[in-house]
Amino acid sequence: MKKVLVTGADGFIGSHLTEMLLEQGYNVRAFTYYNSFSTWGWLDTIEKKKLKEIEIFQGDIRDPNGVREAMKEIDEVYHLAALIAIPFSYNSPDSYIDTNIKGTLNVLQAARDLYTSRILITSTSEVYGTAQYVPIDERHPYQGQSPYSATKIGADRLAESFYRSFNMPISIVRPFNTFGPRQSARAVIPTIITQLLSGQKEIKLGALSPTRDFNYVKDTANGFIEIAKTRNTIGEEINIATEREISIGGLAEELIRQINPSCKVICDKERLRPDKSEVNRLLGSNKKIRELTNWEPKYSFEEGIKETINWFTIEKNLEKYRTDIYNI
């Protein structure tokens, strides 16, 4: 049985990936962010029976010694720990460098010293910036349109350098926009859903014209696992994408139709990115992941949206979100 480490296991994608690895028979160690409340993020919400099977390691991805301790006796590392909110990166770019670049360096250095057999580094479609051509494949140029995306470009290139310099078994996993249960309110889909379910008459959003390629979270998590299963993906950068795009305005209209047709959308200037920072179009190619692995999406966009709405309504998770503020 492989022993795997998931950094950022307390987060949105990380918690789903941790559960999926456990369900598939892996021995899982979950790296969560240390805090004095001893809370484990979204892992606190999973079934107690499952939680007892997970080894929790509390630490800070910015601390090289803690990262090294967490990675001892580990066969595979799924590195997801990161700061990801774009608006917050405008305010606090130093923290993104420390977490996203130095945190990744800590994982790479420890993996080199410990001879870890597989390392998956999490990238983001934001490294591409606004599409120069579509669908965006892995040869697309990089463009740092926010401090967040710049730090993820830096982390990716560090990972590439360790693969090329030290022949390490590294893959760079690049999900396009992931959505689903447990996602932060700073993301557009939970922003819309929570405002609608809280009874607001006007839905406040930023720019409505940009398009995104949305992955349901369980398909994203499965993509990580499939990439790790084959050595064909070592040294590769690999998109996880659906090859389908929808505008933010179109997305809002569909959610309004499903939840509360009387609502209207308004553009909130506070939520607008600076003009040259806004990524206007993201539509990814999934040709490479299909060629190198057995991955294929199992959820349509409509099915993913339904499961997400049900998580808020049927499973009663709306109270976990603040809908009266702009979450950055």
Position 285 scores a pLDDT of: 98
| Mean pLDDT over the full length of the chain | 96
CATH of 3-183+215-244+283-300, one of 3.30.70.3270, 3.90.1150.10, 3.40.50.720, 3.30.420.40: 3.40.50.720
Share of the chain above pLDDT 90, in %: 90
Instruction: Report residue 95's pLDDT band, with 50, 70 and 90 as the boundaries.
Output: very high
- Identify whether the C-beta of residue 19 lies closer than 8 Å to the C-beta of residue 46: yes
Q: How far is CA 286 from the centre of its chain?
A: 17
Counting DSSP H helices and E strands in the chain, the numbers are 12, 13
Instruction: Report residue 113's pLDDT band, with 50, 70 and 90 as the boundaries.
Output: very high
The Cα–Cα gap between 327 and 194 comes to: 12
Segments making up each domain of the chain, as ranges: 3-183+215-244+283-300
Instruction: Report residue 246's pLDDT band, with 50, 70 and 90 as the boundaries.
Output: very high
Instruction: Name the CA dihedral angle for 64, 127, 11, 160, rounded to a multiple of 10 degrees.
Output: -40
- Identify whether the C-beta of residue 117 lies closer than 8 Å to the C-beta of residue 75: yes
Q: Which of 206, 143, 218, 142 is nearest to 178 (CA)?
A: 218
Position 268 scores a pLDDT of: 87
- Identify whether the C-beta of residue 64 lies closer than 8 Å to the C-beta of residue 109: yes
Alpha helices in the chain (DSSP H): 12-23, 48-51, 64-71, 86-91, 93-96, 103-114, 147-166, 188-197, 217-229, 248-259, 287-292, 301-313
Q: Which residues fall within 8 angstroms of residue 261, CB to CB, at 6 or more apart?
A: none
For residue range 37-84, list pLDDT tens digits in order. 999 999 999 999 999 999 999 999 999 999 999 999 999 999 999 999
For residue range 169-223, list pLDDT tens digits in order. 999 999 999 999 999 988 999 999 999 998 888 888 999 999 999 999 999 999 9
For residue range 120-130, list pLDDT tens digits in order. 999 999 999 99
268 versus 102: which is more confidently predicted? 102
Ordered DSSP codes for 86-143: HHHHHH-HHHHIIIIIIHHHHHHHHHHHHT-SEEEEE--GGGG-S-SSSSB-TTSPP-
DSSP category for residue 326: -
Position 326 scores a pLDDT of: 78
Share of the chain above pLDDT 70, in %: 100
pLDDT over threshold 80, residue 328: no
Position 134 scores a pLDDT of: 98
Three-state SS at 232: helix
The Cα–Cα gap between 10 and 215 comes to: 20
